[in-house]
Amino acid sequence: MEESKLIFVTVDVEEDLGIDARDPIGFEGITQGLPSFFDILDSLNINATFFTTGEVGLKFPEIIKELDRHHELACHGLWHRIITEFDLKTNRAHIIQNVKIFNEITGHSPLGFRAVNNVINYRFLNLLEELGFRYDSSALSNYPFLKRYIGFEEKTPKFPYYPSRTNCRKRGASRILEMPISTIPLINFPWVGTWIRTLGKSLYKLSTVLSEPSYLMLTLHSWDFINLKGKTSYSRKSGKTFAKNLEDLLSFFYSKDYNFLTVIDGCKKFE
């Protein structure tokens, strides 16, 4: 396969998505959803990157060990909370604790981070750099016209870049590599599980054929692989339907000679 065509399969491992605030917090995406995804990865011989909360590590240490044995384990915060809810000192304590939990389970520290809801800022990236992280994968390179999303503020480069220490959406002299989440050219739909379930795999296949991107950062969630309740864009084609469609989509990338890498391995090609 051509080294120049890279795809990164990533999963945010966290508590299940609730349709409304009254829904109890659950973890079926981890206990029931992830095993079906592991089967897909094993059948296609794909190593993925799992951005995981410290809370999941505390509740499911055996799953953390399983992820670390076969894939890349990375940080997704201590809890599934947006960083702007806390001051920098508290965020620092949370990230240190997140790393400590994983280190105690696996014997080593993760090197990557993704912010909840893709909410990131330069102060937090500087903190990650200070704490020894190699990369962040929070930035959305673009977002659909007239759509609002809490994690999108302005465009970023579409390919990996070193951010400015005063504006994480611009190139600069930071030593932490930003690995942005991909979007479809022109229409800007993200390569994110909820969008793929809503719009259908065919649109993403077609965009690949037309634009032939050399870099693709695909983002899924642990709860994509369970049957979500309710009739919303978030619940559409979830569970077994999504697992089947995703396997077909990943097989399609194999047919197009894409090289599947963990994010940390991909960083080596851009550093």
DSSP states along 170-231: SB-S-SSEE-PBPB-TTT--BSBHHHHHHH-HHHHHHHHHHH--SEEEEEEEGGGGS---SS
pLDDT in tens, 71-120: 999 999 999 999 999 999 999 999 999 999 999 999 999 999 999 999 99
For residue 120, what are its two tokens?
């990131």
Mean pLDDT of 196-219: 96
Note the pLDDT of residue 230.
Answer: 66
Long-range contact pairs involving 127-133 (C-beta distance under 8 Å, separation at least 24): 127/88, 127/91, 127/92, 127/95, 128/95, 128/176, 129/174, 129/175, 129/176, 131/92, 131/95, 131/96, 131/99, 133/75, 133/176
Note the pLDDT of residue 2.
Answer: 42
pLDDT tops 90 at residue 148: no
pLDDT in tens, 30-69: 999 999 999 999 999 999 999 999 999 999 999 999 999 9
Mean per-residue pLDDT over the chain, rounded: 93
Q: Which of 15-24, 62-71, 224-233 has the highest mean pLDDT?
A: 62-71
Note the pLDDT of residue 1.
Answer: 37
User: Considering only 11-20, 118-127, 215-224, 256-265, which range has the smallest mean pLDDT?
Assistant: 11-20
Note the pLDDT of residue 252.
Answer: 98
- Round to whole Å and give the CA distance between 260 and 251: 11
Residue 3's pLDDT band (cuts 50, 70, 90): low
Give the pTM: 0.95
pLDDT tops 60 at residue 27: yes
Domain segments of the chain: what residues?
A: 6-267
Class of domain 6-267: alpha beta
User: Considering only 56-65, 199-208, 230-239, which range has the smallest mean pLDDT?
Assistant: 230-239
Note the pLDDT of residue 228.
Answer: 85
Mean pLDDT of 15-36: 80
The 8-class DSSP code of residue 257 comes to T
